[in-house]
Amino acid sequence: MRIITRTVWILSLVSLFADVASEMLYPVIPLYLQEIGFSVAWIGLLEGVAGFTAGISKGYFGKLSDEKGLRLPFVKTGYFFSALSKPMLAVAAFKLWIFFARTLDRLGKGVRTAARDALLSKEATRETKARVFGFHRGMDTLGAVLGPVFALIWLYYYPGGYTSIFYLAFIPGLISVMLIFLLREQKQPASTLARGNFFSFFAYWKIATPPYKRLVTGLALFAIANSSDVFLLLKAKQVAHNDHTAIVAYILYNVVYALSSYPMGVVADSMGKKKVFLFGLCLFVVVYGGFAFITSPLLVYTLFIIYGVYAAATEGIAKAWITNMAHDQNTATAIGFYTSLESVSSLLASLIAGFLWSGVGSAYVFLFSVMVTLVAIVNLGRLREA
């Protein structure tokens, strides 16, 4: 049986090109926003609003996808919104327009995520899901490697050429949308849940299986420990006293993440998703514990390499694990419910991290994450893998 099907390949390439577009802007957006007059507080508010929009919309659009029995319209629309938002950032520099463009980008992620993951789940069996999701995450993360590299090369030859990067990012974004038109689908049976308002996806909790509820509760607890990677980058800069170390370490992390995702999926399918996921959480404890006390720039690179393995052992595998517990007619709703809860929990995690960093120091940010993750490990360790 062919595990990586044509559909999986195309969706993975779609994610690769979309991530090239997004990550081209990763090292540029904070610099550009400051150049046009955004303070650090405004940047934080912008990213918080955009992230919350993506998070809370995943559940709604996941349920809507199940109701329609279709995935591709949501995948196309979501990637198109994200592609369109890139050049919009360069069109005008006033705050309301920038908020609209960034929110449109994140809304695109909210529209597409659950429907795309439901398509990936359908392409796999229970025994191959970790490999399928791992392969997709690997290709997606390869885009996160190439994007910053392209941006750094462009800025090397054209210093200060921020706005031109926003227009260039539209090209891989548009390619990602065009690739989706190579796919076809048949309408599936509609959702078993009744229609409702924007928050009606919460009704899935009533019909979810007990193992799903326990798993999602444990994952949400961990999400509260897993604050934005920005704090790791800030700590790296604090230790090394330069931006170069943080950027190179981030690229290195993505390289390891991309290369490890599929092998971790293979191991999870053979040894069990729970074992590999818990191994990943243990690596997270090592990394965050290390960042609490780190003083050597060399250790920054070491910890980011370990962090790449952690990400490969958890990101795609969590979704594979969840879809094995979801109802077939509500797969996108189950994924959307989890990803919405995860996004809101991650926003809370970043707010807590920000207060701890400002109030008592950076070490406490990472020690808090270590303690909460240890509780999550105990919680998830009690589950039986379905």
Q: Give pTM, 2 decimals.
A: 0.83
| 3-state SS assignment for residue 26 | coil
Lowest mean pLDDT among 192-201, 222-231, 245-254, 318-327: 192-201
Residues present in the chain in total: 386
Question: Are 185 and 58 spatial neighbours (Cβ–Cβ below 8 Å)?
Answer: no
Contacts of 121 (CB under 8 A, 6+ apart): 129, 132, 319, 320, 323, 326, 331, 335
* Chain segment 91-116, per-residue pLDDT in tens: 877 778 888 888 888 889 889 988 99
Identify the band that residue 306 occupies on the pLDDT scale cut at 50, 70 and 90. Answer: very high
Question: 6-183+205-381: which CATH topology?
Answer: Growth Hormone; Chain: A; (1.20.1250)
Q: Is the per-residue pLDDT at 31 higher than 70?
A: no
| Both tokens assigned to 241 | 């006293």
Higher pLDDT, 40 or 278: 278
Name the DSSP letter for residue 325.
Answer: T
Contacts of 360 (CB under 8 A, 6+ apart): none
Residue ranges covered by each domain of the chain: 6-183+205-381
CA distances from residue 141 to 71, 194, 209, 261, 369 in whole angstroms, order as listed: 22, 36, 31, 9, 24
